[in-house]
Amino acid sequence: MRIWPSALACSILAVTAWTAPRPRIWANRYGARGDARTLNTLAIQRALNAAALSHGIVEFQPGIYLTGAIFVRSHTWLHIGRGVTLRGVDDLAAYPILPTRVAGIDMRWPAALLNVYRQRRVRIYGHGVLDGQGNYWWKRYWQLRRKYTPLGLRWASDYDCRRPRLVQIYRSHWVRFSGLRLIRSGFWTVHVCYSRHVRVSNLTIRNNIGGRGPSTDGIDIDSSSRVRVLRCDISDNDDAICLKAGRDADGLRVNRPTTHITIRDCVVRDGAAGFTIGSETSGGFRDVLVDGLRVYAPVPAGIKFKSAHTRGGLAHGIQIRNLILRGVRTVFDFNMNWDPSYSYAKFPAGWKHIPFYWRIITQPVLPARRGLPQFRDVRIANLRALNAGRIFAASAYAAAPLRNFSFRHLSLTARAAGFIRHARGWKFSHIRVKTTSSAPLQLRDVRRLRGWPGIK
């Protein structure tokens, strides 16, 4: 007869795993040199492999360490201390091609600079710097996009231009990542994918150093569960904190939701939006809490939900509270037909060489109604927006309206009220609205909207 340990015993074992004394493994003793010239990939990886055998902590002497992709193993701690910079080399060959998910599609793609790949009980921490040298990768992207856009291939640019992410946590569990300064990511900065029990905290992300990096999302949580994002400070050039769950037919095939997510006390200073769901929504979302977010201009949107009529997915049980927004162009930006040139993929006429992943991306979603995204049961409370451009830019589909949104204790000052299209059962209570425009909130195909000032 097998005797299972009690819940208390399991808790004690979990705490011990994080607090037990660990041997220190100095990467410098394995040949790493912080002179900003030596390529240290193999030396750092040898130190990480040694630490995995002894459940140790990898340390560095102060310096700038040039490196390609490195992989942190199970039961290993990586300490990137003050005065230490790990700088990514601008050579695609230094990032091995591995199975992963990219922008909602399962495919092979370059590893990140720092990887937790199919591991468990990993901690990465310190006050040092991860530098992706993004300017090199951004230039490559714009060169490709200038070529692709006239051909109707805007949608293929991110997939074909293989830019390394800065940090990838993939199919891994019980990971803690905290304290570092992350700069100049080539592509997404922190990607948590198909993982559970991950805590990301106290990060500073700056992706607009020396240029504005395209698609340099801050933190992407992708078909993962029990993820916490705490006290992060973000400036990037795309979504700052974003939930994703797969794209179109491939995302519907995987059908893995993003669930039990907590985001607390973060600051967004630059990017596409403060908090985003989408546009990869196919697997759906539930049990999400966003609490204590501050968003400042020039960020264009405070809260952004985006999808497309080929994405599908159900988002529900979303709570957003205690937000301060200053100077955003749109407070609530809900767009279920987002960026058609990116969202709807088609082959150009006469194109002969078609990568296999293009066929995956362009696979039709049938029946068509399966592709309609569903957002419902969203609760937004205690939000203050100052000097906004407009309050609402909300649009869905007649066959898939935005259902049962609740707004409580809002204080809003803006130039215009904006518009809502295709919504059901929206309720407002304790709302203070001040707009400089006399135009009312524009409604189309909206039913059972209650409590907005001036609407009965």
What are the chain's domains?
64-346+356-447 (2.160.20.10)
Rounded Cα distance, 70 and 58, in Å:
12
**Omega cis (within 30) before 279:** yes
Q: Which long-range contacts (CB under 8 A, 24 or more apart) does 9-13 make?
A: none
pLDDT at 351: 79
* Regions of the chain short of the pLDDT cut 70: 1-20, 456
Q: CA-CA distances (angstroms) from residue 453 to 287, 321, 330, 375?
A: 30, 21, 19, 24
Token look-up 């759906």 returns 284
Q: Is 142 helix (H, G, I), strand (E, B) or coil?
A: helix
Residue 442 and residue 174: Cα distance in Å, rounded? 47
Output the pLDDT for position 104: 97
CA torsion sign for 237, 348, 103, 251 is positive
27-48 pLDDT, tens digit per residue, is: 999 999 999 999 999 999 999 9
Q: Alpha-carbon distance 341 to 47, whole Å?
A: 45
pLDDT at 18: 62
State the DSSP code for 207: -
- The Cα–Cα gap between 303 and 323 comes to 10
Return the pLDDT at 404: 98
Q: What was the pLDDT predicted at 232? A: 98
At 204, the amino acid letter reads T
| Nearest one of 127, 33, 110 to 68, comparing CA atoms | 110
Total-model pTM: 0.94
The two structure tokens encoding residue 424: 């059901």
pLDDT at position 347 is 85
- Report the 10 Å Cβ neighbour count for 5: 10
Question: What's the pLDDT score for residue 2?
Answer: 44
Sequence-ordered list of residues with C-beta below 8 angstroms from that of 364, at least 6 positions apart, any chain:
249, 310
CA distance 134 to 140: 10
Q: According to the model, what pLDDT value does residue 455 have?
A: 78
The three-state secondary structure class of 148 is: helix
Rounded-to-integer distance, Cα 168 and Cα 42, Å: 19
